[in-house]
Amino acid sequence: MKIALIAHDNKKQNLLNFVTAYKPIFKDHDLFATGTTGKRIAEEVGLEIHRFQSGPLGGDQQIGAKIANDDLDLIIFFRDPLTAQPHEPDVTALLRLCDVYKIPVATNEASAEIIVRGMENGWLDWRMLKQSATLYDEK
């Protein structure tokens, strides 16, 4: 699966802890992240990760483009609900795209754990079947 990992500044350490705890699962997937979050995951957790721009500089929009092109399967976005974000419209647009394209999204540790455990148990395999059907239909 293709998984985007995003975190607001006050939640980056929470995401690093989460990815570290589930590293055996994440290592088998294609990972994407916005700027600093991706850098920290690569350096501190040791996972290979494709990095986009930071969120305020367009990283959220780059991830949104992957969603619109059906090139992303899951988003884990640890949001900080208590701090105003200058790029909040971009965040809202990203979450809207997840709803439009039926992309599972977790915004905190509790929902992320449920989704990651579900992924581990094959509960998100419908994403892979959807992609295989699309590839088959294109031939």
Q: For residue 86, what are its two tokens?
A: 């200058």
User: What domains can be seen in the chain, in order of their start residue?
Assistant: 2-138 (3.40.50.1380)
Q: For residue 27, what are its two tokens?
A: 């290592």
Just list the catalytic residues: 60
CA 82, 14, 114 angle in degrees (round to 5)? 95
Using a pLDDT cut of 70, give the percent of the chain over it.
Answer: 88
Give the C-alpha separation, 138 to 42, whole Å: 35
Residue with token string 């294109």: 138
Q: What residue type is 95 in one-letter code?
A: L
pLDDT of residue 135: 46
Q: Residue 124 above 70 pLDDT?
A: yes
Q: Residue 131 above 60 pLDDT?
A: no
Q: What's the whole-number mean pLDDT along residues 85-112? A: 88
CB 52 within 8 A of CB 32: yes
Residue with token string 């055996």: 24
Does pTM surpass 0.85? yes
pLDDT of residue 63: 94
Q: For residue 87, what are its two tokens?
A: 């790029």
